Every structure is written in C-alpha cells, then in structure tokens.
Structure 1
C-alpha cells in the first residue's frame, strides 16, 4: 500500500477516537432527540453515571474501522486526482503552486470515491448513537440490516451522503491549502510549523462542516427513520428500528420540508456549534498526524 493510504488510515482512525463523544451529541441534536444532552443528569436519563460515561463511546466501532478506510481512500483519490489534473506535481505534500480550483476538484473527487465506505459507516453509526437500548452495538445493527436487506440496505441515504461528501471534501482540501498558504513563512521553526498545521487543520474542519451542515441534518434524519432492519417476526436488540407496516419512508426533500414546517430554519443549524468544536479538534489532530506520517514514510 502507498504511504498516503496508511497515513490517511491511521490519522482517520485516531480522529474518530478523539471526536466520537461530541459526534454523538451532534447526531442527537440533529435528530431532535435532545436540546442539550450535556445538561441532563444520568438519573434524568434513567441510567447510572457509568452508563452515561460509556454511552459516549456508542457507535464508535463502525466509524473507527470505517473512517480509517474512508480517510485512506479519500487521500489516495485526492492525491491521484490532483496529480492527473496537474502532472507537474512530484510531492503531494508540496503543492504551493497548484491552482486552488484544481485542489477543490480533487477534494470533491476524493469525497465521491470515499462514499462507498462513508455511506454504510454513517448509517450504522447514526443508528447506534440514537438507539435507546444500551446493549445495541454497531455490529448487531449491521448484522440485522444485512439479514433484512442485504448489501443494498447499507446504502440507504447514499445519494445525499455522496453529495455531502463531494461538496464537503472539496472545501476541506481547498480551505486547508488556502490557510497554509496564507500562514506559511520560510522562517518558521519546526514548532511553529506544527502549530500552523494544527490551526489550518482545525479551520478546514470548521469550513467543511459549515458548508454542508444543512445537508448533514437532512442525511441524519433520513438515515435514522424507523426502517425494516430485521425480518418480521424475529426478536432483536434493534427492535425499535423496525418500521411498522403503516409507516411511509420519506425522501430527502420530504424530510427537509417537514423539518422546516415543524421547526423552522433553525433546525438546519442545530448542533452546528458542537459540530464545529469537534471538527476543529479532530481535523487539527488528523492533519498534523497525516503530515507527520507522510514525512516519516517518505524518509523510507
């Protein structure tokens, strides 16, 4: 495997470990389950402090494995696309003269390529995070979805996920490179360079999520609708996810209209503050890890 694959995989998996607690809060705010989950006591939620602490890890298994692979595919596709758009590139870590438009297009292509992993990962993660059964795991949800609908079931909500990823990752790489160019200086020490990479990574995360957050709200609500995730008549820990026969599954446009009618425009930015705090922390760490790993791999 190439160096950018492993650098992307390791940095992506590490970012999920750091950001999952805040991602859990973001998803629950988007789905309308809670106004401010942090303020609710464990007793008010019907559980112990230990259950409250362990709940922050809920839904982490799928993204830890999936997001590592997603990040690996993302960076490989981005670097290869950028090289195709500008054959003069010899080192993917040094692209100061490349057009920002090409960088956006390469990022959007990378986002579209990563969809094959991001769609099932997001679906399983969101359902695990919103489950009211503390015994429900990512694995049990994935198993029951596969039994009911096969591979196709993992790509429910795939269209809006692909649009979100393509647009978002276009701005992700574009904003990171723009920030690096505006902050870089030939006189930077190694310490200053590291701090700037952390800052630019965090800013890129915020720019990305701000640009696609309304789409992400709709995606979350679409993917967490009650659906048939197990064959009828069989018991399962994911029973709350089973759709009753008289329930109609809504599309993205219908969900957006329904959300606007019942909750107004504010619904499309609910949880953005929490999301941006997470985005800054996770992407600062991810970019710093990616840049360091690429340098280390390239030495050998």
Structure 2
C-alpha cells in the first residue's frame, strides 16, 4: 500500500476515532452510573459477582442518579467516576472510527444507487432523505455492536465490581479464563440489537436537527453551535430508543454464567420480577450523559473532517 493510500485510509477513520475519544471522556461518569443502575435488580438481588461489592449495597438502598453520584464520590473519590475508563478508551475510540466509516460507506452506497436509478452519466449531488440516513445508520449499528460488544462486557464488569479486577487486561484475562471467547463475547449480540435501532435514531436525528438549524441560521453549513445542539439531541434520540436493549445487554454481560438462557429469558425475567419499567432503568443518567457526550463527539467528528479535507 502506498503512503498516499495509507494516509487517505487513516483520514477516513480518524474523525470517528476523535469523536469516540471525546464521547467517552465527557460521558463516562454518567455511563458508570447507568450500568450500575441496570445491573442490580430492584431489591438488591444481583448476581454473585455484584453482591460482593459496596456498590451493590448502595444500589440496594438507593438507586437514584443523584444518590449514586454522591455514594461513588464518598466511597471511591472523584476517580471512582472514571472507573473502567480504560476499557472504553481502548475499544470505543476504534469502534467509533468503524461506526462513522461504515455509516459513510452505507450512505455513499445509497447515493450511488440513486444516481444509477436516475440513468445519469454524470455524478450529481444527492441529498438523502432522513429515512435513508437512518437506514445507513442502522447498517453502521451492526458494525458498531459487533466491534464494541466484547469491550463493553469488560467495561460493565469493571464498573459493577471494582474490587475484583486490577485493570482492563486483568479483567479480560479473568473473563477469558472463565469461559474462553464465548465469555468475552457474551452480550455482543444484544449490543448489535441495541445499536441497530439506536444508530438509526442517532444519525437520523443528527441530520434532521442539523438541517433545520441551518435553515433557522440561514446558513449553508452548520455553525459550531448548531453542531453541538444537533449532536446533543442525536444522543438523546439514541438512548430513548436504545435503553431497553441496553438494559438487557448490561444484565447479560454482568450476570454470573448460566443465570440467563438467552436474550428472551432476560426480558422475561426482568418484566416478570420487576415490571416493564425496569427496562428503562438507567435512562436518567443515560440522557444526562447523552447530550454533552454526543455534542462533544459530533463536534470532534465534524472538526476532524473539516481539518482533513483542508489538507487533502
């Protein structure tokens, strides 16, 4: 591969990687609270690995977002809010690179199909509909969930059981020792089920808000303020759609081996024991995290795209 081809390839992946780093760093504290809320059923009856920790005791007594925030700082210090950060930084940064790259691939495929259907010999600019943008987002969700699933398994375990693991690689080693690759990839299918509709809502909402804000501001391209607002709202849309699937994923990935037979069994037990509303546990911290994290993410992506376009 030539140096030019390599540089061009890196430029295609770099914006998503930069956006992923911004997303994780800004949003991790609220993601930590979300996972802990989701992983221990109401009444304190969690899995064996969770019940050994002080986190489970705090959850059993009070699962509100503000109470958990105070408990984490009191018991673990400010650094406790970034427990498990190494896992998403290691995995989410390249996963977001794949996410945005696969979205662009799907979007360009749809554009080419439209141009071919128009029987035009010239490439003409095509503005995709919001539905088409959402379809491309759904495709990217398959890629994102498949890449990020194993790292989320490790991240979730580190977030709910801070005593057991000394770090990312120690957790990965123990997970692999427990059940091989099957254990490492536990919950990856549910991550894909979460990210397909979640990404459809994410990219669709971002494009919708971005276009509308351009109209309001009377601009051809979105301003920084518009990108931040549209990015924040896209994150909110994502989590409103994805939170039930994310709850199932978190429970599968943090429960002891053998507790659940499959995804349907998680859904059945959760609704039967705790009610339908249990699927939406963690929504408050997810939404509190979604706006600033995804505003930072999309600003990082758009800024990187502009920068790399200027030096190509």
TM-score with structure 2 setting the length: 0.80
The residue aligned with 2:19 is: 11
Is structure 2 residue 200 aligned with structure 1 residue 170? Answer: yes
Alignment of 1:124-273 (within 5 A): 124-133=154-163, 136-185=166-215, 187-188=218-219, 193-227=223-257, 248-273=259-284
Looking at secondary structure, tell me which structure has more helix per residue. 2
Is structure 2 residue 148 aligned with structure 1 residue 118? Answer: yes
Is structure 2 residue 57 aligned with structure 1 residue 30? Answer: no
- Given that 2:138 and 2:199 are in contact with CA atoms closer than 8 Å, whether structure 1 keeps it comes out as yes
The residue aligned with 1:240 is: none
The residue aligned with 2:76 is: 51
Is structure 2 residue 98 aligned with structure 1 residue 73? Answer: yes
Is structure 2 residue 280 aligned with structure 1 residue 286? Answer: no
1:175/1:263 Cα in 2 relative to 1: closer, same or farther (>3 Å)? same
- Taking the aligned partners of 2:81 and 2:186, their CA distance within structure 1 comes to 25
The residue aligned with 1:92 is: none
- Given that 1:96 and 1:181 are in contact with CA atoms closer than 8 Å, whether structure 2 keeps it comes out as no
Q: CA deviation at 1:96?
A: 7.6
- Taking the aligned partners of 1:142 and 1:126, their CA distance within structure 2 comes to 12
- Given that 1:104 and 1:173 are in contact with CA atoms closer than 8 Å, whether structure 2 keeps it comes out as yes
User: What SS does the aligned partner of 1:164 have?
Assistant: helix
- Taking the aligned partners of 1:81 and 1:23, their CA distance within structure 2 comes to 28
- Given that 1:157 and 1:219 are in contact with CA atoms closer than 8 Å, whether structure 2 keeps it comes out as yes
Structure 1 unaligned regions, length at least 5: 90-94, 228-246
TM-score with structure 1 setting the length: 0.83
- Given that 1:74 and 1:113 are in contact with CA atoms closer than 8 Å, whether structure 2 keeps it comes out as yes
Is structure 2 residue 113 aligned with structure 1 residue 83? Answer: no
- Taking the aligned partners of 1:124 and 1:295, their CA distance within structure 2 comes to 34
- Taking the aligned partners of 2:164 and 2:253, their CA distance within structure 1 comes to 20
- Taking the aligned partners of 2:37 and 2:157, their CA distance within structure 1 comes to 14
* Superposition RMSD in Å: 2.4
The residue aligned with 2:122 is: none
1:214/1:224 Cα in 2 relative to 1: closer, same or farther (>3 Å)? same
- Given that 2:12 and 2:101 are in contact with CA atoms closer than 8 Å, whether structure 1 keeps it comes out as yes
- Taking the aligned partners of 2:261 and 2:133, their CA distance within structure 1 comes to 35
Superimposed CA distance per residue, residues 9-32 of structure 1 (whole angstroms, 9 cap, x where no aligned partner): 011012101111110001111113
User: What SS does the aligned partner of 1:156 have?
Assistant: coil
- The total of aligned residue pairs comes to 272
- Given that 1:111 and 1:170 are in contact with CA atoms closer than 8 Å, whether structure 2 keeps it comes out as yes
